[in-house]
Structure 1
Amino acid sequence: MTDRVRLTLEAGVADVRLSRDDKMNALDPPMIEGIAAVIDQLAATPGLRAVVLSGEGRAFCAGLDMMSMAGLAATDFDIMARTHGPANVFQQVCWGWRSLPVPVIAAVHGVAFGGGLQLMSGADVCVARPDTRLSVMEMKWGIVPDMAGFALWPGRVRDDVLRELVYTAREFSGDDAVGYGFVTRTAEDPLAEALALAREIASRNPEAIRAAKRLSNLSISGNVEAVLLAESREQGALIGRPNQIEAVAAGMQKRPARFED
């Protein structure tokens, strides 16, 4: 547990809350390291039955904190390094929930943009407020989703819908997200719904629940290593290039971007 992530455990249910609410739980390096550490801690926790993942304050997660990431040297995080099995550390904060042996339920409200959307996608089940604002936002910054989204979304989101959302970065609502497949169902109080569901799961045979999760993962995983590596390769080829820099500059200056082919 860190000052970015709070963890409590009761009756086999882990309540994990992103706690950088003054920044809408945006992902900065300490948050990324904190989430990865909590996933490792949960993986080693005896008696764990289910996990609920939520965000404190006004939002679930606003995505990457672009200002804090802009100050990093290229060597601070090596996206090609497989630091967590098939994943790098950025992918682990999303993929790690899927790799936990127990079900994870995300409770989402406010916004889930970019990395925040990929973070919630790591959960087995997602409950969101109907008015939640969501976006596969990376194209706005001239990059591609690279926090395991392309490994998590197949089998969940229809392919042509996903392509449109990736290409355009447009926003959509929690109600829309149910139809698209990102969200399981909506609720006015997602956290209460998620905790109730987690407690119900915790009441089931834990061996059968773990077996069911392994089977669910196997049925849709495909070649995960290749997908995760391809995400990193494409991202590495984009970051720092003129068009990516222009995307950031245009966004910051609130003007149309001028891209070169």
Structure 2
Amino acid sequence: MITTLFTTIKPFLIKGANVAWENRNQLALYFKTKFWKYRNVDIRFSISGLYKIQIPGANKYLLVLNRRIENQLQPVGGAYKRYADDTLFNKWGYKPDNLKNGLDVDEKSSSDLRFMVNGKHCIEVLNWFDTGNERELDPKREFKEELLDTGILDSAIFQNFNHKRIRRFSKNLIWSDFFSCYEILIYDIFELIPNDAQKKYLVELSKQKNDLSKGFAIVDCDSIEQLRLIENGTQISRIGQHTKLIINKDF
């Protein structure tokens, strides 16, 4: 009888071991969302790419104003976009951001990777994201929209540029007081690799006095660590927490 029972459950044990191995880097998340209290809870995803744009020869960085959060500086970049239709996402119980559970959706943010799914589908979402299929792979679109289209950088000089991905940072199942839900946050950090002309332009830009009406600021490392930009003893802007990622800090 014992032999028969083992023979019956052996395929399930093997399958379970294979699933655990395939998801070994997310094992805790796998069990929490597949079998524990998060299984039937809506989880918000926010998946973004950010640019580290350092002023050559200085410990200073180019930040831009957030178009949704008033008076907040942050790195260039934002949520990746997906290119697929809703079929797969609907299978996961997909809900786009709205004013109640997120940042809402407008024409510019349509198809952003900011959404909710049922907890039991979190691993499927992460596996889909890791394939790189049917989604943006870098934040070059945001670079163009935030820096070239706005005239902050000269499009003739920065139309073509090189970058490299330097890290990925994630936080799983953290509670957000702002959104009143659990979140999974993923950030890919890319570093701009400027050529000689681009280096010269960035150095000249850094010599300008910060004027937030222009939509950007040159900010030193200490200000990023303190999450605020102070000039003449007065705070003129806050700095988003995720900005710490471009100086190799976590938040």
TM bracket (short chain): under 0.3
Higher relative contact order (CA 8 A, sep 6+): 2
| Greater share of helix | 1
**Structure with greater strand share of residues:** 2
Q: If you compute each CA radius of gyration, which structure gives the higher value, 1 or 2?
A: 2
- The TM-score, its normalising length taken from structure 1, stands at 0.21
TM-score of the aligned structures, taking structure 2 as reference length: 0.22
